[in-house]
Structure 1
Amino acid sequence: MSVNDLSRPAFPKRALITGGMPYGEKELYFHHIGGYFLHADIFARFLRDRIGAENVLFVSGADCYGAGVVLGYEK
């Protein structure tokens, strides 16, 4: 097998990468960064290097509504 036989993977022209945040009623730990954000951040940086930073959007958000969040806040 020669080098010319190997094909490079095709990358998208644009990419949207999301990272969900942990639920608000629970205590945050250091592993939440690695579990929720680190993998997505590495992938976003990789794609920015391949297809250009202007073509990659990395966003995160939270959905912290409900009785559990209110009770956790009141503690």
Structure 2
Amino acid sequence: MEQKSPAAEGVWASVTYATPLKRDAMYDHRAQQAGLGIELHHTDGRSTESVLVFTPDQVELYAIQFAQLIAKREQARREGQ
């Protein structure tokens, strides 16, 4: 029986984008890292699950940036855009 290589099976297809999974973020106090479940979407149409890992500094930075995005969204809603 012929075995197919990972490349022949499409394992090496590029990732086009990632989306967050509808799950709670997690924090590992021993590793001092936060994790967010994501789904990776590949050029061949497949998708796989993975984890996006953040350091505490990254969590704080993105918390600030997300707060700014939320404020911009609310402002746009008030202005009727």
TM-score between both structures, scaled by the size of structure 2: 0.28
More strand by share: 2
Considering fraction of residues, name the structure with more helix.
Answer: 1
